[in-house]
Structure 1
């Protein structure tokens, strides 16, 4: 079951529908964030909230996935190659975040408190997450 956005409210749903309409109008091209703000006539914070809710709505309704690329910005994608490239990019980004969390925070915490139950648990869990993401990223 998809995780509901914390920002989900009537206003954010209206913003999501506005963004969806604008992106469908732009298809197959995408829109960079500033273009999306201008085209939707929403503020940047309204667009961010709308994008979060739009992702929830996409999951609930089985609509085409929303992706972001540096070249094209936000767009709906249904082609396998586009989706795989986006997924690989996001997985690689998350892998980097996890590795930085481990090396910058968790490892020093473990060195300071090696017998702490919490730190042993988080080290084991994050090592598992890192290993899984690494396998996916290198596939």
Structure 2
């Protein structure tokens, strides 16, 4: 078993996996519609924190178990999406959010760190890696027309 999979399995509790399965079942019953958080909590009889942990576990388990992709929207709440265009829209929005978050880290933490310690190999390495991630997210969120 690959090392990362073992680490992920160790972090994910069996309880979180059960919560993920409860969420999957609840959403399958209402598909293609979705459920917003309060309704998802009521249907699964889970607390908000249990649903949050269950959603995180769902995202880890979906690929392993062949479960459908789970996305969130203002209109539908949490719902399954097997439409290529819908998934692409969601992925672009996700990339835009992460791009913005990483940009904030670069400007608020890494640049001041680099100014304080200009000869630090560590900060130079981190800045280079995070800039690469930022560029990749920007290309995903804002692809050039072909």
Fold similarity call, TM over 0.5: yes
Q: State which of 109, 121, 124 in structure 2 corresponds to 1:120.
A: 124
The offset of 1:5, in angstroms, is 6.2
Distance 1:63 1:10 in 2: 17
Name 1:82's counterpart in structure 2: 86
The offset of 1:6, in angstroms, is 6.2
Name 2:63's counterpart in structure 1: 59
Q: Which runs of 5+ in 1 are unaligned?
A: none
Name 2:142's counterpart in structure 1: 138
Q: CA RMSD in A?
A: 1.6
Q: State which of 20, 31, 52 in structure 2 corresponds to 1:16.
A: 20
The offset of 1:20, in angstroms, is 0.7
The offset of 1:7, in angstroms, is 5.1
Q: SS in structure 1 opposite 2:75? A: coil
> In the superposition, relative to structure 1, how do residues 6 and 33 fare at CA in structure 2: closer, same or farther (>3 Å)?
farther
Please give the TM-score of this superposition, normalised by the length of structure 2: 0.88
Distance 2:25 2:126 in 1: 42
Name 1:73's counterpart in structure 2: 77
Q: Which runs of 5+ in 2 are unaligned?
A: none
Please give the TM-score of this superposition, normalised by the length of structure 1: 0.93
How many residue pairs were aligned? 139
> In the superposition, relative to structure 1, how do residues 97 and 72 fare at CA in structure 2: closer, same or farther (>3 Å)?
same
Q: SS in structure 2 opposite 1:67? A: strand
